[in-house]
Amino acid sequence: MWQTKISKVEPDHIVTRGYRQENLIGTVPFASVFFLLIKGEMPDEKEAKMIDAIITSSIDHSVTPPSTHAARIVASAGVPLPSAVAAGILAVGDVHGGAIEDGARILQEWVKLMNKNEWSFEQTAQKLLADLKEQRRRMPGFGHRLHKNDPRTKRLYEMADDLKISKEHMKLSLALKEEFAKGKALPINVDGAIAAIISDMGFDWKLGKAFFLIGRCAGLIAHVYEEMTTQKPMRRMCEQEVTYDGPWERDLTE
């Protein structure tokens, strides 16, 4: 027996989280229906704006990220669009898109510790970074190869403040930024911003990668379509890009 609270389908009748599908269509924006699916309740006006902004912030980052690269290379081999998009999705992992999940987990755990021990944000940030340093780990959601001030973070944090969504997790992320600034200044990247905001919105950290995935899937579709319709098939590396550093040539008798 299968049980689900998500939707009910009967002949000529579809209900999603209690709402008739035909009433959602054309009335409730996609991002809000996504919120409804994963939270079980409709977002209020502020949450609806925030979730839409989060999805848009993840939508694309050009050809270079592993998922887009993978999707375009697979598309160039002549497979159907869903297979190429799936190849991109398969590249989303702990290092690409995964900082949202791990960042949200760490922020959620340390906000609990902070409240239990009545530490300040500054104390909590210091203890958290010392703990990560001891484990030789980096703080997910901080640093960026390209952006010194990730424009997506700035906008998301402005919105979270204006919409009064920002709470303890965002404050802790800003306290961490202050701590980093005492040594090597590191920006909060878009993954770190999403991690803090979804935590303040009450989402389980286990959903972290979902927010990246739902946005980036649209970007992957655009890239796969562009690859299929504008590029020569079968992308490959040229020989000059590959260095062989295996054993020297030898005869079978040796």
Ligand X SMILES: CC(C)(COP(=O)(O)OP(=O)(O)OC[C@H]1O[C@@H](n2cnc3c(N)ncnc32)[C@H](O)[C@@H]1OP(=O)(O)O)[C@@H](O)C(=O)NCCC(=O)NCCS
Q: By CB under 6 A, name the one of 5, 116, 136, 145 that touches ligand X.
A: 145
Q: Nearer Cβ to ligand X, position 84 or 100? A: 100
> Least distance to ligand X from the beta carbon of 183, Å?
8
- Verify binding: residue 182, ligand X, rule CB under 6 A: no
64 neighbors 96 (Cβ within 8 angstroms): no
Overall residue count recorded for the chain in this entry: 254
Collapse the DSSP code of 18 into the 3-class scheme (helix H, G, I; strand E, B; otherwise coil) and give the result.
coil
φ, ψ of residue 15 to 5 degrees: the values are: -125, 125
Q: Residue 72: is it exposed, middle or buried by C-beta count within 10 angstroms (0-12/13-18/19+)?
A: buried
Residues facing 15 on adjacent strands = 8, 20
Q: Nearer Cβ to ligand X, position 67 or 189? A: 189
Site size with ligand X, rule: CB under 6 A:
13
Q: By CB under 6 A, name the one of 87, 186, 194, 198 that touches ligand X.
A: 186
Q: By CB under 6 A, name the one of 39, 46, 144, 155 that touches ligand X.
A: 144
Exposure string of 182-192, with b = 16+ CB inside 10 Å and e = fewer, is eeeebbbbbbb
Rg (CA), the chain: 22
Q: Nearer Cβ to ligand X, position 17 or 69? A: 69
Q: Please give the distance of CA 75 from its chain centroid, rounded to a whole number.
A: 23
- Verify binding: residue 189, ligand X, rule CB under 6 A: yes
What's the CA angle centered on 105, arms 143 and 153, to 5 degrees? 40
Q: Please tell me the number of Cα atoms within 13 Å of 121 on its side-chain side.
A: 14
> Least distance to ligand X from the beta carbon of 34, Å?
22
- Verify binding: residue 232, ligand X, rule CB under 6 A: no
- Verify binding: residue 236, ligand X, rule CB under 6 A: no
- Verify binding: residue 57, ligand X, rule CB under 6 A: no
Q: By CB under 6 A, name the one of 99, 107, 160, 224 that touches ligand X.
A: 99
Q: Which of residues 193-212 bind ligand X (CB under 6 A)?
A: none
In the complex, the residues that contact ligand X under the rule CB under 6 A are 99, 138-145, 184, 186, 189, 191
